Structure formats: C-alpha cells, structure tokens
Structure 1
Amino acid sequence: MTQKAVPFLFMRGGTSRGPYFQRKDLPADLDRLSQVLISVVGSGCSTNIDGLGGGTAVTTKVAMLSPSERPGADVDYFFAQVSVEDQFVDYSPTCGNILVGVGPAAIEMGIVPPAGDQTPVRIHSVNTGAQVEALVQTPGGRVNYEGDIAIAGVPGGAAPVALNFLDVVGSRTGALLPTTKACETIEGYEVSCVDVAMPMVIGRAGDFGVTGYELPSELDANASLLKQIETVRLEAGRKMGLGDVSSSVVPKFGLISEARSGGHFSTRYFMPWKCHPTLAVTGSQCLAACSLIPGSIAEGIARPVTASPALLSIEHPAGLMEVTVTFERTESGVKFISAGLVRTARLIARGEVMVPENALAGSNDTREITQ
C-alpha cells in the first residue's frame, strides 16, 4: 500500500490528547480531510488499533493550526472530534482541553515566535469563532513543560498554561439562553439550555434517577439513563436552533448535584454518549455560567456567588476544576463577560504519521513512502 508521511506533534492538552497538524499539510476538502483523520486515529475499531487513537472520545481528537489572518489573532485552531468506532468526524464543536496545547504547539511549529520568558498566543477558534489568549512559559526561547501545577485527571505536575476566554457567550446559537428561558421542561424533565463556550443541556442528577456522584463507568453502563439523556438532548437541540443533532456531539449534556468536597457544585459531563472521565474546559465555562443565572437549574444546588470576578470550583469524577469568571448582575439576570483557567500541556512525541496516498491527494508538504 502506498502511503504518505505527514508531520505532526502528539500532545496532551489538559485531560485530552491527540495529533496536532499544520492545516496546510492536510486536504482542504472536508470529505477528504475526514478520511485522512479517520485513518490517522484508526476510527472503526474500539481499540483504534490501526491508528493513534486511544479508544476513548478524549483520545480521538485532532487539532489543526495555521497562521491567522483574523485581526487580533496569531493562530487559527481548527478542531475535529473523530469517533472511536463509527468512522465519523464532527467539525461542529471545539475542545477546550485540546486548545490548551494550541499555544505550545504553535510555538513548536514556528507559527508564533517565542517572546521572552512568557509568550502570549492569541487563538481564534475556527469552529466557534471564540477568541482565547494563552500564556505559555518560554524561558530561553523554548516551551517549558516542567512545573508543579497539578490538574485532576493527569498524574504529576507540569508548567502552567493560563487561558482567558473572550466572546464565549452564544458560541453556536448567538445567545446565552438559546430558548430564552433560564429553565424549562423538555420531555418531562426540567433543564437549562445554556450556550457559553459550548452549547449545553443541563439537568439535576436527582431528576434523572442518579446521585450525580457515580463513577463514569457506572453511568456509561446505565442504558436507561443514557436513553433519557439522549431523548432530552435531541429535543433540546431543536429548541436551541441547532436542528437535528442526532449525529452531532453538540449540544453536550451535564448533570449537576450539590458539592461534597468544598466546591460550588458537582457535575457529570457527557460527550454526549459517554460520561467524561473529568470535565471539558468548554463545559466548565458553560456550567459555571449556568450556576450564575437566576432561575436556572443550578439555583438551590450551586453555592451562591455574589462578587465578580469569582473563582468557581467545580467537582468532577477526578477532582476539582477551578474557573475564574467575570460577570455583571443586571435587571434581567446576568451578563457573562469572560472565563479564565489554568491548565497544563505536554509534548509527547513529534514525527510523521502515515496516511493513504489517495486520501491526501492535493495536499502539500508530504513525501511518499511505499510499504
């Protein structure tokens, strides 16, 4: 079989990992691009044995970077969620954990030059239009990955990558509350439909017959719960103006319950057909916003927050995620301004990945290798 080699970085971003490419090295046509990414990941098998994927939704993600022509941005970040088994690629969402690695990757690729001991990288999310600034540690002109910042779900410590998310309200729907209501009943369940960084449908864990403190594996094994969630999510997607979302991972779904370890609230985040082992960065912002909205599903569950900016602690299956939120109270509710958090990333490997030659037709900067 004739294949071509494509350069890539293999990185962990937050609690996700995957290949990071330069967009110019891949097909512009999305159908061809999907075939390439399916091959790269090894989608179509639960173990992804024929590719780089790790058999879970958090390890079958792909980042594609390019210099940005957008005013105020240094790099364009195009995200792809590749399914583990279904040979399907979804370009509708973004991923905040993979985004953590975008700043370091852009510097490693030469897209953004290092600027002293700390390099700001202004990122434009192609999928959602969001603007994010990442602060990357670059002592001596090189990305530093060593440090003592620990995040739940990742062993050990690493150098901090500080993220500040701007213009995240209405990421896909154009509104904080796409259905115009803070809380409404869908398929017999009270939920809040919120769009901050990622459109989400959020419900009370107890209403869905669970505590909200179960392990992800327990929730994944609960077929009745997953069916309930999907029924609500499909109708909520329609009400949020997203159309038929049966084959899309957007909107995501979250269950909340009272905190048990000193946080503001606890959550279980669904991707949407499996429970996340920790919590998505984008999801954390949407959940944080929901907790601030008067009359939302979080009212009476989340610990109240009065002053802005505020540091919200969200409990998830592996520990805590802290999100700094800036907001204003208004007569009609709340105006969500920005969210920031500190995560970590690590360059795991660099090299070339082999993909079928016919899928790469028309792309640049590859060399042919026959095996």
Structure 2
Amino acid sequence: MSELMIPCVLMRGGTSRGPYLRLTDMPEDRDELAALLLRIMGSGHELQLDGLGGGNSLTSKVAMVGPSRTPDADVEYLFAQVGIETQTVDFAPNCGNMLAGVAPFAIESGLVYADDEKTLVKIKNVNTSKIIHSTVRTPNKKVQYEGEVYISGASFPGSPIELTFLDVAGAKTGKLFPTGKRIDVIDGIELTCIDAATPVVIFSADSFGKTGHESPSELDKDEAFMARLETIRRQAGKLMGMGDVSNLVIPKPILVSKPERSGTICARYFVPHKCHKALAVTGSIAIVNALCNQGTIAQRLVNCDVGQTSFQIEHPSGFIDLTAQWQESDVKSVSLVRTAKKIFSGLVHIN
C-alpha cells in the first residue's frame, strides 16, 4: 500500500481533542471513511500508539469540515467518535466540544472569509441536521486563540467562542420526548428520556444509591453499578425508538443531583461506558431542556423556576454556564461559551 498523506490540524475543542480534517479529502462511502479514521487514530491499541488518538474517549474524536450544500449554513461538520481498542466508528452523535474548533478551522482553511473583530459562522451538523451559530474573535481578520476565558476541564485560558444551538429538539429521534412521556420506569428506576442536541437518559443519582457527587473514577470502579446502568441504557434506547444501541454511544446516561455549590444542578455524564471527567456540551443542552420542562427528573429534583434563562451545571471538573431562550417549554436556542487551542497543523501519514 502506497503512503497516503492527508492535511490535518490537531486541536483542542472545549474539553475534547482530535484531528480536524477537510471533508473534501475524505471518502464519501461511510465504510471506507470509517476504515480510514481507524488508521488515522491508531485504533486497536489501548494507547492508539500508531495514530493521533490519546487512548481516551475524549481524545479519540474526529471533526470533518466542508462547504455547505444548503443555504442555511456556511459549512458542514461531520463528527466521528472512534473506538480505542475496538475497531468501531460511531457517526450517530454530535460533539459540542469539538464543535468549538469548527469555525476557527473553517476560517483558516479558506471555507469562510473572516470579518473584522468577530466572525459568525453558521454550521450544519451532518450527524443531526441541526444548525449551530459560532462566533469567533477575528481581530485583523485572523482567528484569535489566546484570551482570558477559562472553561472547566481545560488547563489554559483562551479566546471566547460563542456557540448557539438552534432548534435542538429531536436531534436523532425527531422528538424531544421520544417515548411520549416525561417519566418512564425501567427495572424499577424512574428516568427521563429526552432528545435535545443528543439523546440522553436522565436519572436521579439517589435512585442508584449514589450521591451524584462521586468522582468519575469512583463511579467507573463500581462494576455492578456500571453494568446496571448499561442494561437500563440499552432498554431505554429501544423505548426511544433507536433499536439495539449496544454498539452505539447514544443515548448517554446522566446522573443528576442537587448542587453542592451555587449551581442549578449537578451532573455525572457517561460516554457511555465511562464517566466523563467534565460534561459534554450536547449533554448539558439536554439537561437544560429537561430543566425547562415540568415533570422531568431534572426539573422535579431542583424545582427549576418557570422562565429561568440562565443555568449553571456542576460537573467533576467545575461547572458549565448556559443561557436558554424559551417560552412555555419550547426551547428556541441554547447558548454557551467554549475555547479552542490549535496544537499543530501538518500531514497525517497513512501507510
């Protein structure tokens, strides 16, 4: 096999990291694309030693960006969650953290022309067919990565990247509440199945005998709990009309509890077989939608005020702040701030 060299930018997006590639450099056939991404990431080895993956689900992600084929967006973004030891590639979910790097990558790749001071990039997520607006600081028409904004879960500050998710309901299933209910019961556990930016299953932590403030490692080490969580997640996937989800990373389970500090609610988010060390952007949007709807596990737990627009969700690394525009349970948009850091750009070699 001759050596293949593909242009690539490795970037931290929010609290995730991975290569950003041009869709025009990728095969259109999904099976061929999956096989290529496994090679790029070095999957099949716990350290992903022969590729760009970092041996963790948060660093085994790929963002692919190309010109939009519809007038409502400037660019298209296809996300892939790539297996580490397994030869699997999941194109079903979106990743809001990797999304933070899409607009900077699009501008620097020449897909979008930068404006002075700030540039708005309209992004269509191919995985969910939803639109996200990303506003990037571009003084002198250059992407600015340096700044003073800290986000929990990242080591260094950066320039703010404002993300606004539009029309988030039914990202994969077409319905905000895919089961038709705000509370379902599986194996004696009450839960809320909700699909907003991504499908999730929300539980009260105490229904599993947890406080909801445990560290990710504590939860991961509880094998009986993790096995039970996975069993219920698979049943919930069927209830949500998603079929057999045993080989999919969605729906994601979320344990919620009352906040320890000044937050609105506390969350432990699973990806899905390990607890996230922070909180996924899409998962946080799903939680906000649950808080805006009466009778869900999340809303019932903290008795969220009707009309509340600002939300702070506590997670293992700190917190995430979100703003919702909504009326009578209809959430029009959810906004938040992320940062991104360009680590290197060059060619990834496949041979």
What's the TM-score, normalizing by structure 2? 0.98
Paired position in structure 2 for 1:368? none
Aligned to 2:313: 314
Give the AA of the match of 1:167: D
Residues 13-34 of structure 1, C-alpha deviations (whole Å, 9 max, x = no match): 0000100000111111111111
Q: Is the 8 Å Cα contact of residues 264 and 303 (structure 1) preserved in structure 2?
A: no
Q: Distance in 2 between matches of 1:156 and 1:91?
A: 29
Asked if the contact 2:67–2:76 (Cα under 8 Å) also holds between the matched residues in 1, the reply is yes
Q: 2:350 aligns with which of 355, 358, 363?
A: 355
1:220-235 matched pairs, under 5 angstroms: 220-235=220-235
Give the root-mean-square deviation of aligned CA atoms. Answer: 1.0
| Structure 1 residues 111-260: aligned runs within 5 Å | 111-260=111-260
Contact 1:187–1:231, Cα closer than 8 Å, also in 2: no
Structure 2 unmatched runs, 5+: none
Unaligned stretches of 5+ residues in structure 1: 357-371
| Cα distance, 1:301 vs structure 2 | 2.1
- CA displacement, residues 289-335 of structure 1 (integer Å, 9 cap, x when unaligned): 11222111123422523325x11000000001001011112xxxx21
* Identical counterparts, % of pairs: 44
The residue type equivalent to 1:241 in the other structure is G
Structure 1 stretches (4+) deviating beyond 6 angstroms? none
Match of 1:365 in 2: none
Counterpart of 2:285, as a letter, is Q
Cα deviation 1:198-226 (Å, max 9, x = unaligned): 00001011111211111111111111111
- 2:66 alignment counterpart: 66
Residue of structure 2 aligned with 1:339, choices 303, 321, 334: 334
Question: Residues of 1 paired with 2:100 and 2:250: CA distance?
Answer: 20
Question: Contact 1:265/1:303 (CA < 8 Å) preserved in 2?
Answer: no
Q: Work out the CA distance in 1 between the residues paired with 2:101 and 2:79.
A: 12
CA distance in 1, matches of 2:341, 2:207: 39
Pairwise mapping of residues 91-106 of structure 1 onto structure 2 (< 5 A)?
91-106=91-106
Q: What is the DSSP-based 3-state SS (H/G/I as helix, E as strand, rest coil) of the residue aligned with 1:220?
A: helix
SS in 2 for 1:2: coil
Tell me the alpha carbon deviations over residues 84-125 of structure 1, each in whole angstroms, 9 at most, x when there is no partner: 110110001110000011000101111111111100000000
The separation in 1 between residues aligned to 2:303 and 2:152, in whole angstroms, is 21
CA contact (8 A) 2:294 2:300 kept: no
Q: Which amino acid aligns with 2:350?
A: V
Question: How many residues are aligned here?
Answer: 351
Corresponding residue for residue 109 of structure 1 = 109
Q: After superposition, what is the alpha-carbon deviation per residue over 1:117-170, rounded to whole angstroms, capped at 9, x for unaligned?
A: 100000000000110000011101110001100000111311000011101101
Q: Distance in 2 between matches of 1:299 and 1:76?
A: 34
Tell me the secondary structure at the aligned position of residue 233 of structure 1.
helix
Judged with a 3 Å threshold, the aligned counterparts in structure 2 of structure 1 residues 165 and 299 are, in CA distance, closer, same or farther, namely closer
Greater RCO (CA < 8 Å, at least 6 residues apart): 1
- Aligned to 1:283, what secondary structure does the other structure show? helix
Matching residue's letter, 1:36: L
Quick one: distance in 2 between partners of 1:303 and 1:297?
10
Aligned counterparts of 2:80 and 2:52: Cα–Cα separation in 1: 14
The CA distance in 1 between the partners of 2:299 and 2:140, in whole Å, is 48
Match of 1:7 in 2: 7
Question: 2:278 corresponds to which residue?
Answer: 278
In terms of mean alpha carbon deviation, does 193-202 or 209-218 score higher? 209-218
3-state SS in 2 of match to 1:194:
strand
* TM-score (normalizing by structure 1): 0.93
Partner of 1:20: 20
- Please report how far the alpha carbon of residue 3 of structure 1 lies from its aligned counterpart in structure 2 after TM superposition: 1.5
The superposition leaves residues 65-95 of structure 1 with CA deviations (integer Å, 9 ceiling, x where unpaired) of 1100211200000010001110110001110
SS in 1 for 2:344: strand
CA distance in 2, matches of 1:200, 1:300: 17
Mapped partners of 1:175, 1:260: distance in 2: 32
Q: Distance in 2 between matches of 1:165 and 1:27?
A: 28
Q: Which residue of 2 aligns with 1:51?
A: 51
Which amino acid is 2:94 matched to? T
Contact 2:167–2:331 (Cα < 8 Å) also in 1: no
Partner SS, residue 98 of structure 2: helix
How far apart in 2 are the matches of 1:280 and 1:152?
A: 11
SS at match of 1:275: coil
Question: What is the CA–CA distance in structure 2 between the aligned matches of 1:49 and 1:343, rounded to whole Å?
Answer: 29
1:41 to 2:41 alignment: yes
SS at 1:64's partner residue? strand
Quote the Cα distance in structure 1 between the aligned partners of 2:4 and 2:261: 51
SS in 1 for 2:339: strand
In structure 2, how many angstroms separate the alpha carbons of the residues matched to 1:317 and 1:166?
Answer: 27
Which residue is equivalent to 1:327? 326
- Letter in structure 1 aligned against 2:348: V
